[in-house]
Chain A
Amino acid sequence: MKGNWFFPNLWRFLSLLAAQGLVLSGISYNTDGYVSLLVYPLFTLLLPILMPIPLLILAGFFMGLFVDFFTGTLGLHASAGAFSAYARVIILERFAPQGGYTGKEPIASPAYFGWRWFLSVSGIFFAVHLLWYFSMAYFTPVYFLSKILPQATLSWLSTMPVVVVLMRLFYPKN
């Protein structure tokens, strides 16, 4: 982790929290919770690649917890945030370039790895996050096929274009 990594991540944290808590969660309410636009995990995904894992998980947890304060679902987003942060470690390991991550590419951005790589990584990352989120929301495996899986799929289909637009707009490098 070289250079000035703290402030870009702080801005991302605040702006994604505001966007999620004030705007995007409202869309979820309008569809009776059936489609949820959850872009705040982008903060976790764009944290420095070489960040220590416990810190990464704590960051994901607190990001989710702050979103929970907005949505009144204490613990729900926090759980999903921490889980997807842990999943990010495994996903990035799978998609590591030859020789591993050296630190030349500070974050998992298309600016360093290209769009195809980013779409694969973020696609899996958001799928894991949404599946865990809806599993926790229903809190029972009984609804897995009837509610959890369909809602996670619909939410993924609506979240991913927003993620791509945001990445195209800001094209973060650190």
Chain B
Amino acid sequence: MYSILQLFARHGGLITLLITQVVSFYLMTSQNGPQQQITRSSWSWYSNWVLEWRNRWMDYLSLRDENIRLKMENARLHMQLINLHASEVPVRDTVRRQEAFDSLGKKLVRPEYVVISARVVGNSFSGRNNWLILNRGAKDGIHPNSGIISRAGVVGIVREVSEHFSLAMSVLHPQTRISAMVKGYPFYGSLYWDGNDPRYLTLSDIPYHLPIRRGDTVQVSNYSLLFPEGHVAGIVDTAYRPQGSSFLHIRVRPTQPPASVREVYVVTNRYAEELENLTRATQEKQ
């Protein structure tokens, strides 16, 4: 109480002025038409401004969540796109393109892919055997022997899966071999790293008679078990026929530089294991 009196003794004039102004403002805005109107419109303007500012701020704060949502949405769309591609069967009637169903009436969506977005949290690219670590694991639905792609190209193959993380062979690993082809030619070969220059991959087993040129696109072939068909893998840098060979030696520049990969998609072919078992069983019988 004493301190309030002291405050009033020191700043009584200012306090009285403020009180009288507040009372006057109240009387003005409640009793006088023009002031009332101006106050109302100003109030709505300011409240709109504050609301807009608040919304912007909230949008900014939710950017991280939005980013995750977008990545999930992207993965879903990728999955649809890949599976759509897988179900495209070149059957046409004379009137319109039909969606293909087999004789059992089932839609042809094999192989079927599941796409999960992930982030590269560990990456080596200067050694002989290079590995990637992804921030997704078994809990997120990642299986070993899944392909890893980015928007720009191929990235690697998942080898080991823990609860929350996955270890993958980079394309810069000599054991990573991807069934690939040069776009526009119906021949497929093996895309791999020869262990020398990390800027280039090698595409082998492409017949020498094909007029492959620098700049041609290298993409995943339709025989790949792990990667979706048609996904871009690289650009032809040089192509030549080694002496005495029936195949070309094609040097490919990967469209996704292994050193700068960050956001990726793990692509799992639901039938990969079944296909592998089938192949293995056939090989054992022979």
Q: Which residues of A contact B (CB under 8 A)?
A: 52-54, 56-58, 61, 64, 68, 73-76, 78-79, 82-83, 85-86, 89, 136-140
Contacts and interface: CB of A to CB of B under 8 A. Distances in A.
B12 A61 contact: no
B20 A57 contact: yes
Interface stretch (B32-40, B98-106, B267-275): B32-40
Interface residues of B, number: 23
Contacts of B17: 57, 82-83, 85-86
B24 interface: yes
B28 A79 contact: yes
Given A54-B16, A82-B21, A140-B42, 15 more contacts: A54-B12, A54-B15, A57-B17, A58-B16, A61-B24, A75-B25, A75-B26, A75-B35, A76-B32, A76-B35, A78-B27, A79-B20, A82-B17, A86-B14, A138-B34
A139 to B, nearest CB: 5
5 contacts: A54-B16, A64-B24, A75-B28, A76-B35, A139-B28
A140 B26 contact: no
A86 B21 CA distance: 11
B23 interface: yes
A57 B19 CA distance: 10
B38 A140 contact: yes
Most central of B17, B26, B31 by chain A CB within 10 Å:
B17
Contacts of B16: 53-54, 57-58, 82
Contacts of B39: 139
Contacts of B34: 137-139
B13 interface: yes
A58 B26 CA distance: 16
Nearest to B37: A139
A136 B26 CA distance: 12
Contacts of A140: 38, 42
A6 B34 CA distance: 37
Contacts of A57: 13, 16-17, 20
Contacts of B14: 86
A75 B15 contact: no
A91 to B, nearest CB: 13
Given A53-B12, A136-B28, A139-B28, A78 B20 contact: yes
A52 B9 CA distance: 10
B27 A74 contact: yes
B12 A52 contact: yes
A68 B20 CA distance: 14
B211 to A, nearest CB: 74
A29 to B, nearest CB: 16
Contacts of A74: 27-28, 31-32
Contacts of B24: 61, 64, 75-76, 78-79, 82, 136
A75 B38 contact: no
